[in-house]
Structure 1
Amino acid sequence: MEAGNRTGVSEFILLGFSEDPELQPLIFGLFLSMYLVTVLGNLLIILAIIFDSQLHTPMYFFLSNLSLVDICFSTSIVPKMLLSIHTENKAISYMDCLTQMYFFMIFAGLDNLLLTVMAYDRFVAICHPLHYTVIMNPHLCGLLLLLSWLICLTYSLLQSLMVLRVSFCKETEIPHFFCELAQILKLACSDTLVNDIVLYSVTGLLGVIPLTGILFSYSRIIFSIIGISSSGGKYKAFSTCGSHLSVVSLFYGAGLGVYLTSGTAHPSRKGSIASVMYTVVTPMLNPFIYSLRNRDMKGALRRLFTRGTYSQ
């Protein structure tokens, strides 16, 4: 709390999407529905993978972790926003804001890195099918997951500690629906040059390097698919990575748009609306994309519901 007292402010004001009281019930209902769908859909994916032995493979191991991260990702943002709308209180304490920012960065980074790891998994499966089980062994899968967590925890902790050295004056209104680091730094009345350099440099690296890895993996995958003689084999090979490619396009497309507009000198609520795409919409759509386009997952979900029906 001493760090909070040194800033000169005890709380921030999250302006959200609109101050029109007539729109608040609509916004509340919309985001509550999306949040419930996100939690339920990703939870079903996790349970289906856990209880179906046919899905105990590296691909679905990473998918279950992605679903867990998506639940945590939305939970770090949406419940607080719903509470603010319900109580008509847009204030968030200084420490609560830093805590939300910390967990947001962790789960956003994990989403990014897990999508990269899943692209590598598809690359090995399609380009080196005979060595797939040897390369993607449980030890490597666990190591890749642990490394992803360590990178995100370290980066988030570094950024959060650096915010503690920043002082804030009387301007505490954040034109967003959650505490985003870039928007918080714009409210500082002390020098934030070091914070800005670290923010955009590391965020750029965590965006460019994984995206480069994904593009490289899929370039090799495409060349391998072209080399397959039968059309049925080509379709089967591409169908195993089509869902992942759809999620990658959605996540990076929305995230890149937000990143490019976050450096504007006069942020507006348009940026917060754009952020909804990768903070709320993408985690909600992931279960649908992976289940509707995946025969194995649809079968596992069917068996899960059958198991639940018989158990009653």
Structure 2
Amino acid sequence: RAVPVPVRAVDTTSRSEARTAAEPTPSATPSEASGEALAASEPAEAGTTEDVAPTPEPTADDAFVGGSWADAFGTVTGTQFAQKALEVRAQSGDGAAVLGKLASGDKVSVTDKVVDGWTQVAFNSQVGWIRSELLGAKAPVKEAPKEAAGGSGQATARTSGKLQWPTAGSIGSRWGMRKHPILGYTRMHGGVDIGGRVGQPIYAAEDGVVTKAAHGHNSGSGNNVRIDHGKLSGKSVETAYLHMSKISVKAGQKVRRGQVIGTVGNTGLSTSPHLHFSVYLNGANSNPAPWLG
């Protein structure tokens, strides 16, 4: 009688996998390899975002077309004159790089930016900085001849009868009787109000000596400066500057015509930033208008 022989099951799947693993993977053809390398080197698409050309930086020349610059620049407010030979700096500060030089009397366009006593200017299509005290609204006047030997050694008084405008701007309120905008009643307005912005430079109207530099309310005058100019056109002349935001001089200090003595403000009894400018002839308050050049 035949005896049945047990049959052992064989796992053909395992052998197939082992055989497959043992077989070498075919290498990519040269054309396939170069295609994959090219794809890897190409940048990924930026989706639906379109490429935008960068906005060009504004130049100083652009400023004068529209009257203003980008945020990095100020707004051109006009021109001023170098009161002496000076250097134009790339930034505010004596340690900044020198862009060039101006001779005494050279004219330069200025902006409304003033930083720590430095005024921003347009210089050879570049943005430069000049010490505010070295700029003036008018070209400097040549020194009057000295007295003969044995004299005082001081320059003789100028006889033009004209003072430098103390700040940029136009007259908003004139000298004379008027209704006070705050107090509400009519009284004497002893000067002219020149509109401006806070921080705008104020200049000495003529050579002289500071006799007053007062901070505080001062009965409505606010921060104010008074300068004695000595004799002009045969009269003793003094000038006063009221409502200042900053005073840059002190009592007893000698100043020159066009020198920065402080900045426009809104201190004291004032409704908006401006400079109240007064003239005193032989000690009496007088109309400044005839004295302004």
Regarding TM over 0.5, the answer is: no
Larger Rg: 2
Q: When you count strand as a share of all residues, which structure comes out higher?
A: 2
Higher relative contact order (CA 8 A, sep 6+): 1
Richer in helix (by share)? 1
Could you tell me the TM-score, scaled by structure 2's length?
Answer: 0.23
